[in-house]
């Protein structure tokens, strides 16, 4: 049985056993944490930008929050897709997700940031704040996971 903790991550009763179970739990916990923290950070940024800049601030920070929170789910999705591969491949997918997320956010900032309806600073600040917050939430979710190190039950290796 599992239960939610106050940060939206799942705390399972028992430790994760085996690489596939560890990766599934880790990616699920990372996705939930990033979505919750990304959504809350986005709402704060949207509120502040709307008060300070009006509708352009709302549109800029709203788009920034949507892009950054959506791209934060890329890393857990890539990790989930590599569950059956070697641990090095999972680590590479995790790093690739982080690097791709940063590149996507930079491309969005420099291509969409020139739109007249958007406040570019609101877009940039929201992208950065949500990027940092979701990355920290993903790291925190990984540190909360209980992992049993050793061979999987029923395997022939000792």
Quick: pLDDT tens for 75-96. 888 888 888 888 888 888 888 8
Within a domain: 1: no
The pLDDT of residue 116: 83
Within a domain: 8: no
Within a domain: 118: yes
Strand partners, 2: 12
Q: How many domains does the chain have?
A: 1
Within a domain: 9: no
Name the residue range of residue 118's domain: 17-148
Within a domain: 66: yes
Low-confidence residues of the chain, pLDDT below 50?
Answer: 1-2, 4-10
- CB-based burial of residue 45 (10 Å sphere; 0-12 exposed, 13-18 middle, 19+ buried)? buried
């Amino acid at each position: 049985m599992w239960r939610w903790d106050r940060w939206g991550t799942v705390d399972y009763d028992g430790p994760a056993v085996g690489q596939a179970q560890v990766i599934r739990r880790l990616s699920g916990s990372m996705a939930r944490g990033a979505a919750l923290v990304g959504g809350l950070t986005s709402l704060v940024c949207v509120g502040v930008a709307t008060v300070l800049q009006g509708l352009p601030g709302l549109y800029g920070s709203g788009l920034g929050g949507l892009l950054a929170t959506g791209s934060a789910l890329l890393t857990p999705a890539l990790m989930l897709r590599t569950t059956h591969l070697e641990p090095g491949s999972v680590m590479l997918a995790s790093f690739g997700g982080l690097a791709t997320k940063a590149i996507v956010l930079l491309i969005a900032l420099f291509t969409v940031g020139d739109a007249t309806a958007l406040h570019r600073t609101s877009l940039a600040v929201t992208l950065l704040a949500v990027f940092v917050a979701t990355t920290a939430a993903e790291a925190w979710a990984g540190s909360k996971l209980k992992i049993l190190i050793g061979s999987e039950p029923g395997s022939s290796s000792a």
